[in-house]
Amino acid sequence: MTIVNLNTILTLTNTQMVIEIAATVAFALSGLIEAARKRLDVVGISMVTGLTAFGGGTLRDILLDRRPFFWVQHATWLWVLLALCLGAMVFMQARHLEPTERAMLWPDALGLGLFTAGGTLIALDYQMPMIVAVLMGTVTAVFGGVMRDMVCNEIPRAFSDHQPYAVCAFAGGWVLILAQGMEAPQWACMFAACATATALRMLALYRGWVLPAWDSGVSGKG
């Protein structure tokens, strides 16, 4: 009987592909929910969903001069996104939004971890310095949601709700760097980074952790 090597199955290319697909779906759903809450039409829903799913990765690829973009190379996912948006408009009703939004906090945390791992490793493949690679992972994980909120005319929640988000991605990126320094397999490095960022985000949500807010010392009264 032939014994299959785990490293052969979990090649870097295949691992990155699975990670980007899973993260794209998780973030697309969060964008879809936000667009539905804003009562946008089908064009608006598709745009917001697409920005959330592809925005962070596209910004990373622009900064790294990486071509083709993920969504250009795998255009089938554009059809999946459009089908998801149309299906939501047909079947999703207002009473579904609040429980769905709460439930999506957890897949969103998973998407954060997945995009952190994928973005950091892609930047390392492009021979970026460690700090730049970690920041590219953070950009990949965070800026889809930032674009979503800006288009929906809100201050990005990643910057304003004081719950750790980008910080979780930043920590996950450094875990990947550390794992690579220990000469762990690439898939194990990505798993460690994803698990760290996702677990930190879930703990932050569960425990109600908040980051310190700017205190200017002004009470607001004249």
- Is 112 among the domain residues? yes
Cα(28)–Cα(8) distance, rounded to whole angstroms? 30
**Tens-digit pLDDT string for the chain (222 aa):** 344 444 444 455 566 677 677 777 778 887 888 787 788 888 888 888 888 888 898 999 999 998 888 788 878 878 888 887 887 777 766 555 565 556 667 777 888 898 899 899 999 989 999 999 999 999 999 998 899 888 888 888 778 778 888 999 999 999 999 999 998 888 889 889 999 999 999 999 888 888 877 665 555 444
pTM of the model: 0.79
Cα(13)–Cα(97) distance, rounded to whole angstroms? 36
- Is 136 among the domain residues? yes
User: CB–CB of 187/165 below 8 Å?
Assistant: no
- Is 37 among the domain residues? yes
- Is 212 among the domain residues? no
- Is 220 among the domain residues? no
Over its C-alpha atoms, the chain yields an Rg (Å, rounded) of 18
- How many structural domains does the chain have? 1
- Is 2 among the domain residues? no
Cα(131)–Cα(184) distance, rounded to whole angstroms? 19
- Is 107 among the domain residues? yes
Number of residues that make up the chain: 222
- Is 3 among the domain residues? no
The range of the structural domain enclosing residue 182 comes to 9-207
